[in-house]
Amino acid sequence: MADGKTAMSTPVIEVNNVVKHYGSVIALSGVSMKVSQGEVLCLLGDNGAGKSTLIKTLSGVVRPTSGDFLVEGKPVAFNSPRDALDAGIATVYQDLAMIPLMSITRNFFMGREPLKGIPPFRHIDFKHCNAVTHEEMRKIGIDIRDPNQAVGTLSGGERQCVAIARAVYFGAKVLILDEPTSALGVAQTSMVLKYIHQVQQKGLGVIFITHNVRHAYAVGSRFTVLNRGKTLGTCAKGEISIDELQNMMAGGKELQTLSDELGGTI
């Protein structure tokens, strides 16, 4: 029983005092955070806070200069994004890594298409791929008319959901979502946030990177704020209000000073 409790309490991802230097440039100067199963950790920070470098570190694009990186309690040192994927860490970037003129199905299975037949005459099982794509999209409330239609015909929110559903289907334990709502309207943002909540309910860990405090507060379990490559602190949802979180991220004193200078217009 004790072992079970320990396993449940072990974070899926944990980083402690991670530092990343690019020559004389210090991109990360001591970041610590963790995410567990079934929670959404929101990483908040303005431009230049270190969010992009942290994403690259977690997803295996770059190696940290120093610090500890653990996956399910075990130290790791990723040499490539493939290492991160093999460990169950899937990253959905802003550009979504999709080809607009290619079908929804081909984008869903890109590089992982199941084959059938006898070598050397094996071929892609498109019937199975289409059925899986249609079903996985139906589960999240998107009834696509034809899985063979170009993914570029979908709305921005629907394309985000395709990218997230793809990662979930292929076995991700943790989803790293890079500004998934930054270019979306209200209705599409709502669609994506609802799906993030669904993913959380399935028991996956989610790292939601954003600069939009309201979007983060809608789905977040805990909030970690980055500023100039450092972790300012982490708070659970019940420990901080949305206004306090905004001030923590943007710098309450600086905003108040600017507001005073402009005559209270901020």
For 192-226, how does the pLDDT look when each residue is reduced to its tens digit (9 = 90+)? 999 999 999 999 999 999 989 999 999 999 999 99
pLDDT at 2: 41
User: Is there a domain that residue 112 lies in?
Assistant: no
User: Is there a domain that residue 83 lies in?
Assistant: yes
User: Is there a domain that residue 222 lies in?
Assistant: yes
pLDDT at 54: 93
CATH code: domain of residue 256: 3.40.50.300
Total-model pTM: 0.86
User: Is there a domain that residue 71 lies in?
Assistant: yes
Which of 140, 202, 210 is closest to 173 using CA atoms?
A: 202
Greater confidence, 2 or 258?
258
- Domain of residue 178, residue span: 2-98+171-261
The gap between the terminal CA atoms of the chain, to the nearest Å, is 54
Integer Cα distance of 142 and 103 in angstroms? 16
Whether residue 97 is predicted with pLDDT greater than 90 in this model: the reply is: no
How many domains is the chain partitioned into structurally? 1
User: Is there a domain that residue 160 lies in?
Assistant: no
Place of tokens 């402009």: 262
pLDDT band of residue 254 (cuts 50, 70, 90) is: low
User: Is there a domain that residue 26 lies in?
Assistant: yes
For 50-96, how does the pLDDT look when each residue is reduced to its tens digit (9 = 90+)? 898 999 999 999 999 999 999 999 999 999 999 999 999 999 987 77
User: Is there a domain that residue 108 lies in?
Assistant: no
pLDDT at 229: 87
Determine which helix (DSSP H) or strand (DSSP E) holds 235, and give its type and residue range: strand 230-236
pLDDT at 59: 94
